[in-house]
A and B are shown apart, each in its own frame.
Chain A
Amino acid sequence: MARALNDGLRLALSGDERVLLMGEDVGRAGGVFRISDKLRGEFGEERVIDAPVAESGIVGVAFGMAVAGMRPIVELQFMGFSYPAYDQIISHVSRIRHRSRHRFTAPMVIRIPYGGGIGAAEHHSESMESIYLHIPGLKVVVPSTPVDAKGLLLAAVEDPDPVVFLEPIRSYRSITEVVPGDYYTTPIGEAAVRREGTDVTLISYGAMMRETLGAADVLEGRGISAEVIDLRSLVPLDVDTIVASVIKTGRVAVVHEAPRTGGFGGEIAAIVQEKAFFSLEMPVLRVTGWDSVFPLKRSERLYLPNVAGIAEEVQTRLFEG
């Protein structure tokens, strides 16, 4: 996935001279995850900008650039370090269109690596997407495959509104596939059905797709046919795909590594009961991270949903419950 993102950034920079990339260590070092590797050499230090250690400044300055006609892409190093920029995002980036009645807009992409499973230090494993998707005026996109990562990134750059682009850290190097070399976009707001099934709908996104698909395999071995939906975009949400699947299966589980309380699973459950209440055979199940601080290395396995755990919960709570 890292290579696909690098490729996407390169195409975005070469295709539109208003596009620029700014963030801590994105230039000389090519980013702490090497997502912008070599881009400074190719596009120059004026378009691939090493910023001071100042997240609020990075986002606020990029916002000003966007209003004045540029197409900035910013990188915040880890989700746990995005919070100093939160005020800029919630108070300005997301609402300038509304505040100015369309006179000013902020077409910009805020790239944020997120998620656990890499045994990192405190603040480096967080999955706090809820605090972003709760903000009106902000799109929130999460790819789970390299092909989508590139297509969604280019769509985000083209988008007339600000997009928070979440990159699953543990998929950067572990998820690989052949990615088309040309310029293409993947529409924001369309979920993908990764696997068809008839008995239960498993819904997830980002890094958790791997565990969710793994659980579908396990369930298959136990005679349960799972349909798996990759949301790809949390805002806007592809409600139709979810509802169509639930009408077919009658059972739903949402999987995410973010804390349960206030997590996206709750939102999906609400939507499902609003739109497909009479199709439901069982209450909507959430398999999530916990309402504790994200653990350090030694306790990660206590926290992150795993294949066996998802399969067990789905089986016992949706089929035996």
Chain B
Amino acid sequence: MKGSAHVFDQGSLSGDPLSILDQAGRLVAGYEVDGDDLRRLYESMVWIRTYDRKATAMQLQGRLATYSPFFGQEACQIGSVAALADGDWLAGTYRDAGAMWFRGYSWERLFLGRTGDERGGQPAEDVTVMPPSITVGGHMVHAVGLSWAEKMKGSGKIALTMFGEGATSEGDFHEAMNFAGVFHTPTVFFCQNNQYAISAPREIQTASDSIAQKALAYGMVGYLVNGNDVLAVREVTAAAAERARNGDGPSLIEAITYRRGPHTTADDPTKYRTSQEEDLWTERDPLERVRAYLADAGLWDEPWQTELEEAAGVAVETAVGAAEALPKLDAGNFFDAVFENPNPTLSDEKAAAARRLELGEA
């Protein structure tokens, strides 16, 4: 690949986003692709799309509480975290189940959280992924702290935080960026600019030409990337991660993408956007361009696609089954997770809650 660390013209940060594979799946001049590597990235994208579809369908059947699909953002979900190393931190949002899974957060736990069970917030011991942040913006500051701690410990690990363009309007975004800049923390800020914050188009969030530009004001490096191009996303994230690991400080990546589905299963996008616009982004689908490239190179065929989808489907179904089979959270499990040692008030309440439940169900 061309150069290991792209650094954009930091003067504007508002030109064309970096692309490696164009919409038709053609390689942009100057880049090379390792076919097996691209097949692996594609495979991951197929897997998470399968999960996303399943979760959306289950919500419609009433088996999950609201769900926030990342449909259309698979290149961001995979390309970003594919650039991380073991033990690096991920702090993302309600829309980042794909990235969380790639980093080891099990589908079973992801489903569990969505069924309305607190145990979904508990990843396995060796998984350095924070539970998804449902409040917009709160978690970006945490990534600064996580990565700063790693710097203090000299572990060589970094943190990546994912958030939407809407989140850049919250005060916490600015505080996080400022801290990271001032203390030169090994933090990668990864903004998925998916064009909408619920119904609000990107123009409502900022009057600046790009979000990437905001890096300059905080004394860090900015990147602008085509967020539907998994190779380009990984390329810039790897550059940012390398800078962080080398002690060169934080970066802000703006990945331009599109949320093809609704904000959540409770949202109706026809209220605020046109089907022409949706069609435009259907053509820019992140999986399609990779498939086109692979097919051209003789690295893709229907049977392989079917095999991938089937394997992903089975894995997803198994995870759903495991999540649904878990015994219901009882009062004990619920009250005992408030403090390490429950206080007498909580112990009394636990008993009373069990009785309340009994009466409520009678």
Contacts known (A57-B169, A121-B134, A302-B334); A52 close to B204, Cβ less than 8 A: yes
Contact of B359 among A51, A81, A292, A309 (CB under 8 A): A309
- Indicate if B178 sits at the interface (CB-CB under 8 A): no
- Indicate if B66 sits at the interface (CB-CB under 8 A): yes
Q: For residues 125 through 139 of chain A, which have their beta carbon under 8 Å from a beta carbon of chain B?
A: none
Q: Is the CB of A298 within 8 A of B361?
A: no
Contacts known (A28-B271, A32-B198, A121-B65); A57 close to B171, Cβ less than 8 A: yes
Distance (whole angstroms) from the CB of B135 to the closest CB of chain A: 6
- Indicate if A270 sits at the interface (CB-CB under 8 A): no
Q: For residues 289 through 313 of chain A, which have their beta carbon under 8 Å from a beta carbon of chain B?
A: 290-293, 295-306, 308-309, 312
Contact of B65 among A27, A32, A297 (CB under 8 A): A297
Complexed CA–CA distance, A296 and B333 (Å): 13
Contacts known (A293-B338, A296-B65, A298-B117); A54 close to B345, Cβ less than 8 A: no
Q: Is the CB of B134 within 8 A of A123?
A: yes
Q: Is the CB of A299 within 8 A of B200?
A: no
Q: Is the CB of A309 within 8 A of B197?
A: no
Q: Which residues of B contact A80 (CB under 8 A)?
A: 135
Contacts known (A119-B65, A119-B116, A309-B355); A52 close to B200, Cβ less than 8 A: yes
Distance (whole angstroms) from the CB of B97 to the closest CB of chain A: 13
Q: Which residues of B contact A161 (CB under 8 A)?
A: none
- Indicate if B166 sits at the interface (CB-CB under 8 A): yes
Contacts known (A24-B200, A54-B169); A302 close to B118, Cβ less than 8 A: no
Q: Is the CB of B169 within 8 A of A52?
A: yes
Q: Which residues of B contact A290 (CB under 8 A)?
A: 335, 346, 349, 352-353
Q: Is the CB of A302 within 8 A of B357?
A: yes
Interface size, chain A (Cβ < 8 Å) = 46
Q: Is the CB of A299 within 8 A of B169?
A: no
Q: Is the CB of B359 within 8 A of A297?
A: no
Complexed CA–CA distance, A160 and B311 (Å): 64
Q: Which residues of B contact A119 (CB under 8 A)?
A: 65, 116
- Indicate if B170 sits at the interface (CB-CB under 8 A): yes
Q: Which residues of A contact B272 (CB under 8 A)?
A: 28-29
Q: For residues 182 through 221 of chain A, which have their beta carbon under 8 Å from a beta carbon of chain B?
A: none
Complexed CA–CA distance, A224 and B171 (Å): 53
Q: Which residues of B contact A303 (CB under 8 A)?
A: 353, 356
Complexed CA–CA distance, A293 and B356 (Å): 17
Complexed CA–CA distance, A36 and B116 (Å): 29
Distance (whole angstroms) from the CB of A113 to the closest CB of chain B: 14
Q: Is the CB of B334 within 8 A of A295?
A: yes
Q: Is the CB of A298 within 8 A of B135?
A: no
Contact of A29 among B65, B199, B360 (CB under 8 A): B199
Q: Is the CB of A299 within 8 A of B329?
A: yes
Q: Is the CB of A24 within 8 A of B198?
A: yes
- Indicate if B92 sits at the interface (CB-CB under 8 A): no
Q: Which residues of B contact A122 (CB under 8 A)?
A: 134
Instruction: Write the A65-93 contact mask toward B (1 if CB under 8 angstroms, else 0).
Output: 00000000000000011011000000000
Q: For residues 94 through 129 of chain B, which have their beta carbon under 8 Å from a beta carbon of chain A?
A: 94, 113, 115-118
Contact of A292 among B94, B170, B335, B355 (CB under 8 A): B335
Q: Is the CB of B334 within 8 A of A299?
A: yes
Q: For residues 72 through 118 of chain A, which have their beta carbon under 8 Å from a beta carbon of chain B?
A: 80-81, 83-84
Q: Is the CB of A306 within 8 A of B359?
A: yes
Q: Which residues of B contact A28 (CB under 8 A)?
A: 199-200, 271-272
Instruction: Write the B168-200 contact mask toward A (1 if CB under 8 angstroms, else 0).
Output: 011110000000000000000000000001111
Contact of B356 among A55, A57, A81, A309 (CB under 8 A): A309
Q: Which residues of B contact A123 (CB under 8 A)?
A: 134-135
Contacts known (A81-B135, A84-B172); A301 close to B334, Cβ less than 8 A: no
Contacts known (A84-B172, A119-B65); A261 close to B137, Cβ less than 8 A: no
- Indicate if B136 sits at the interface (CB-CB under 8 A): yes
- Indicate if B152 sits at the interface (CB-CB under 8 A): no
Distance (whole angstroms) from the CB of A75 to the closest CB of chain B: 13
Complexed CA–CA distance, A318 and B356 (Å): 17
Contact of A297 among B115, B338, B362 (CB under 8 A): B115
- Indicate if B239 sits at the interface (CB-CB under 8 A): no
Contacts known (A29-B271, A119-B116); A308 close to B136, Cβ less than 8 A: no
- Indicate if B2 sits at the interface (CB-CB under 8 A): no
**7 nearest A-B pairs in the assembled complex, by CB-CB distance:** A297-B116, A52-B169, A29-B199, A296-B116, A308-B359, A306-B360, A53-B166
> A-side interface residues toward B, CB under 8 Å?
24-25, 27-30, 32, 50-57, 80-81, 83-84, 119-124, 260-261, 290-293, 295-306, 308-309, 312
Q: Pick 9 A–B contacts, CB within 8 A, sort by A.
A: A53-B169, A57-B169, A120-B65, A121-B94, A290-B352, A291-B345, A298-B328, A299-B334, A309-B356
11 more A-B contacts (CB under 8 A) besides A120-B66, A301-B357, A303-B356?
A28-B200, A29-B198, A29-B199, A50-B199, A52-B169, A53-B167, A57-B171, A260-B349, A290-B346, A292-B346, A296-B117
> B-side interface residues toward A, CB under 8 Å?
65-66, 94, 113, 115-118, 134-137, 166-167, 169-172, 197-200, 204-206, 266, 271-272, 328-329, 331, 334-335, 338, 345-346, 349, 352-357, 359-362
